[in-house]
Each structure stands twice: as C-alpha cells, then as structure tokens.
Chain A
Amino acid sequence: MRVLTAFLAVLLGISALAAPIKIGITQIVDHPALNAVRQGVIDVLTEAGYVEGEDVVYIFGNAQGDFTVAISIAQNFLAQKVDLVVSIATPTSQAAVQVFKDTDVPVVFSAVTDPVGAGLTGYPNVTGTSDMIDVRGDLELLLELVPGLKKVGIVYNPGEANSAILTDMAIKAGKDLGIEIVPAAAESTAAVPLAAQSLLGRVQALYVTTDNTVVSALEAVVDAAVKGKLPLLVADPTSLERGALVCTGFDYYDHGRMTGEVVLAILKGTPPSEIPVKYQKGTQLWLNLDMAERIGFIFPGSIKDKATGLLFAGKRFTLEK
C-alpha cells in the first residue's frame, strides 16, 4: 500500500513538474496589428524553447469589440487558473487588471498607448509595453516634407482612448511647432470617408495615428489625399501599400516580440514589479514613391537620407544604412 502511495506521489510530482504553463492571451478585437502582436509574443516564446502543447498552452480570448465580454474572458482565465495573462490593447488590459489585481498572477499588457492614464500602473503583478508613437517627431517630419506647413488635418475616432490621447498630444506639439491641427471626427469606419473629405481645402497635409477605426478604413483617407494632392502620413508601416505617402511608427509584430521578451523574463523568474513599462522605440520611415508620382510630390533630399525603405513599383526596398 505504501509503495503504491509513494508511486502515485512521484507520478503526481512528475506530472506537476511537467505540467505546461497556461498563458491566457486576450485581445479586444480581430485586427491585423493586434494579431501581429499576438504572433510576436508566441514566436519569442517558441524560439526560447517553449513549445506549444508541451511546455506551454495558450488560451485565446477575443472580445469582438464588446467590453463587457473582455471582463468575462478575464474571469474565464481566472477560473482556468492561468499562470500568466497577456492582454492586448487598452480595454482588454483594464479588464484583465480588474480581475487579476488582487492575485499574484502576472499580467503583461501590450499595445496600450497610455498605461498611466488607463490606470494600469501601480500593481505589483502588472507590467507591459506601450505603443505610444512619437507624435512630435511625426509633425517635425511633416514640417520637413511640406515647406511652410501651417495646417495639418487629423482624422480620428474620438471614441478610441488611444486615439483621443494621441490627437491631444498632436494639438499640443503642433502649438509648439507653429502648426494648427484641424481634427475631423469619425465615430465609425462608415464615417471616415466624410470626415476625410471635410478636410480638403482646409489643410496642407493629412496625419493618421494608430487609430484602429481610421486605419481600418484607410482607403477612404487615401482617396481624399489623392483628390486634394495632399501628403498623407500614417503612423503604421503596414499602411504603405495601401496608399500612405509616408509611413512612420513601428511594426506591431516587433512590438509583440518586445512584449514576448517581457513574458520570457517573468517566466524565468523576474517578478513583474521589477520590470518597468517598456515604450516602443526606433521608429521606421517608409517613403511611397509610387504615390509621390501619382500626386506630383517630390521628396526633399534630407528625408531620403533618413528613410528605412521605399515603396517603388509596388515592391518594398529596404535602404542600406
């Protein structure tokens, strides 16, 4: 009898050791950028030796735009006793922190523009990465592109927390730089075309930040830019092929990898309280020569020197540094 108990105990012990780590990954909506983040996290872990199915098990949650479902997803993770939570985007992260704040399950947020403003800081088990873009840098870039630039139009969704913050920042930075920001609100993707059109004749350049709504309907903004022969700067590199004249920002896949590094550090034993929130650095710069030709735009030489790469004849070319 005792042999049996001992045998069972050893078996249990081994199974406990070998039990795969459960990681819950939740995002607010299906979106290429957010999906890229998720992939980045998974890839980093896979490369570090955490094989899916053996060492680690992922539980995915997609709130499909419903904030209250985000809470339910987090509660589900709690019920399933996950070992770590990765929450992508602001509302999802708020829901995750609300559910896990009094536990010691680590929560790593990602793609949150303003973690402090969203109330995510100050919890010992919470840390993450921010996708705050360099708004001021983008405006300075526009100044270089368009001599005598006085007015810049921004199409944005006032209902998106990230976007509202970035637009506010743009307005303030603009004041410093002597640029007037003309905002055009679009509450849904359907409202984007009208908002973009309303800026024609009133501004000299168009700027789109990491606004999920507007980026989803980017083609409408491109249409307006082409119509008004206006330079369009989008803070999202994947928008290059879709018609932006200039793209800054970073690849969300890279952002996901950065998040993955944080997750890795925690899995290896560093407590989240010792990992400060990481802000995405290293913005890229892509120039769309095809679009430039279409609207008759000539890039100044100084810009070309800084570019990460070009789009020409529909193909991307990375420039040597």
Chain B
Amino acid sequence: MILELSGIWKVFRLGTEAVEALCGVDLALEEGEFVTVIGSNGAGKSTLLNVIAGTCRPNRGRVRIGGKDVTKWPAHRRARWIGRVFQDPLRGTAAHMTLAENLALALKKGRRGFSLLLTPARKRYLRKLLEPLGMELERRLGERVGHLSGGERQAVTVLMATLARPKLLLLDEHTAALDPANAEKVLEITERLVGEARITTLMVTHRMDQALSLGNRLIMMHKGKIRLDLSAEEKERLSVADLVDLFRRLGVTDDALLLAGNGTNNAGDAYS
C-alpha cells in the first residue's frame, strides 16, 4: 500500500469561525493507481493534498506512506517520497536559476554534499530527459527558468517532480492556469511520465471530462468527505452528463463544478 489515510480530520479556525475542511477521511492507494479527484469549492481537495504532503497537520487521524507513519513528519522529510505540482506554474521552479540547475536539484532528494551540481555527464543526462518532452527545451539548459513560458515551466515542474522516482505524485489542478494548448501538452507529458515509471498518482482536477478520461480511479469529494469512489470499469461507463446527474443526486449543486471548465480557486489555498 503506497498511501493510507485513516480517520483524517482537519479543522481550520478563521477568527471565530471553524471550518471543517476534512471530516473523517479514509483513503487507500495501491501502487500504480492513478486517481483523479474532483469536487466543489471547499470540498477539501487541496487540504487533502496538503495533509498527505505534510504542509498541513491533521487534527486527528494518521497518514501512512509506504507503510511508514509519517503523520508527524515535516514536509521536507516526506519530500523524499512525494512529488508535487501546483496550479501556479511559477511555484515549482527557482526562477533565477537555470533549467539545468533546477533539474539537477530535482535529481537527488537526500543529503547534498560538496560535489559539483552540473557535471558534463549530468548535463548529457538532463538533455536526454528533456528531448521526449517535445518542447525543444534540451537546447535551453543554460537559460534562466524565469524566461520560460508558463506552459514550459509547468512541464518542467512535472518532469522535476517525477525525476527522483517518488512513491507518490500529487497534482493540484496543475493545468488549470494554462491555456488549452499548453494544458493539453502538459497533460500528455504527465500521462507519459507517470505511465513509464508507474508512479502512484493523485490528481485534483476541476474538469469532469479529464477526471473521467484520465487514470484508473475517480474520487469525488464534498464538504470534507469522500462521497464517490469509482473504479476504472465503473467510470468508463459514465459520460460527463451522467456524472453531473450523480452529483445532483448526492446533493452537490455547485455551479462552478457543474460548468466543467471553470475551476479557479477563489477560496484561496487554505481550503479548496
């Protein structure tokens, strides 16, 4: 079992209000599963990812990765096993450092020593990694990442997140801020990299068509709970309209969700 969440509760206090972001969530992921997560605003999707990654501590419950109880571990300690890509294409890379340096930093997740970061051998390796992306980035290794476009940066972030062979890849609406052409490209890259290395993936998306077509499992969250958990066969049979119908029957009336195409988080990072 790659990931196991048992009885996760997370309550945020905003002034005098208490927001229950996660209410008793149980989730188990086997190796190789590609799970898409869908839900309305405030459903708890981003909080879920934060709890798994360690940037947010649950009030109750346990997080196990690869069998180890990591509930009390800080984010940088769990980072060894987790890759993460955010919605903001600027977040995953160091803008003032070169493409080569960024990638090289992502190669290793353990202790760093005094050896040179970019040996000629490493540079050759990085060039080979960039070629299949199809964005001609292998020629721009010496450029500052800040000069790349949003789509290019996000593609690089996805590559970096998978480089050190993480146990688990967390994707938080990572194509939502890109134009359709780039979003398509990044999605393609994601699928290929995940497929090649068989990385267990949890992908939050706002688009129901994506949620249905990608991966082999679909989870729907509403108000801090997992309301639907569909296997590959079950979701194959559904169309987007069927999904919408299912939601309505479960009590989800979020227009933003139902209009598959608008997924901007206007509630901020704290809860999704």
A/B contact in complex, CB under 8 angstroms: no
